[in-house]
Amino acid sequence: MSARDPGPVPSAAGVEVLRVFVGPDGRGGNSLGVVRDGAAVPGAAARQALAAELGYSETVFVDDAERGVIDIWTPSVRLPFAGHPTVGTAWLLGAEVLRPPAGEVRAWTQGPFTWVRGRAEWASGRRTQEYRSPAEVDALPSPPPGEGWLYAWAWDDEAQGRVRARAFPRRGDGIVEDEATGAAALVLSDELRRSLDVRQGTGSQILTRVRPGGTVDIGGRVVRAR
């Protein structure tokens, strides 16, 4: 299954659910759970258990809203950095800076898009693989055979920097295909040294901008799921 659509969540946890990297037509977007009061879910075991119960590809625990300190969990592992959790949380909190374990992340809004700035080394372990056409990417089974994180992509229009992509975590935690993966788009943009317009999953859009000094901006639209 893919990261599931927002459903009932434990009311005591105070989880807010967003869709991040929504497409221009309102489709797509990766579901994100945000626990504004991280202190309500203390400890790694409790956070991993709640992330697994929710079943979203990532859940964020806000440990200090004023300073932007956040903790990011998949249903099985803690992440030092991730794209749609930082973009979504920046939008929700109106934050100019977030502080996940990887380091300080600048954030801002420009028109309908919320942006964050990160580094490819923060998203290590995401392997990219180019295919000959968007049709080949679309034809892949979910997940493709093999182990480890796979970001399958093809040029839709190389001159314009448009990419078709699908993402497969392949870590055995129930997230078979990720609808929108900002960190993987960041890695691809860094590898290509190109700013990109990525269309991922069923209808998501991720924008990237290559910056000086080895950083990459990732941006997209965010909406509340309820």
Domain boundary among 45, 71, 103: 103
Whole-model pTM above 0.85?
A: yes
Report if residue 168 sits inside a domain.
yes
Q: In this structure, what is the dihedral angle of CA atoms 176, 126, 35, 10, given to the nearest 10 degrees?
A: 10
Is residue 152 domain-shared with residue 213, that is, in the same domain?
Answer: yes
Q: Which domain range does residue 33 map to?
A: 11-103
Residue 41 DSSP symbol: S
Report if residue 198 sits inside a domain.
yes
Is residue 98 domain-shared with residue 156, that is, in the same domain?
Answer: no
Is residue 140 domain-shared with residue 79, that is, in the same domain?
Answer: no
Is residue 96 domain-shared with residue 135, that is, in the same domain?
Answer: no
- Check which CATH number belongs to the domain holding 161 and give it: 3.10.310.10
CA angle at residue 105 from 102 to 109, to 5 degrees?
A: 150
> What is the CB neighbour count within 10 angstroms for residue 182?
31
Tens-binned pLDDT, residue by residue, of the chain (226 aa)? 344 444 555 544 689 999 999 999 999 999 999 999 999 999 999 999 999 999 999 999 999 999 999 999 999 999 999 999 999 999 999 999 999 999 999 999 999 999 999 999 999 889 999 999 999 999 999 999 999 999 999 999 999 999 999 999 999 888 999 999 999 999 999 999 999 999 999 999 999 999 988 999 999 999 999 6
Q: How many domains does the chain fold into? A: 2
Q: How far apart are CA 82 and CA 57, in angstroms?
A: 10
Whole-number pLDDT of residue 29: 97
Written as one letter, the residue type at 20 is V
Domain boundary among 54, 75, 103: 103
Domain boundary among 103, 136, 151: 103
Report if residue 4 sits inside a domain.
no
Q: How far apart are CA 192 and CA 190, in angstroms?
A: 6
Is residue 128 domain-shared with residue 216, that is, in the same domain?
Answer: yes
What are the structure tokens assigned to 214, written together?
């080895």
Report if residue 111 sits inside a domain.
no
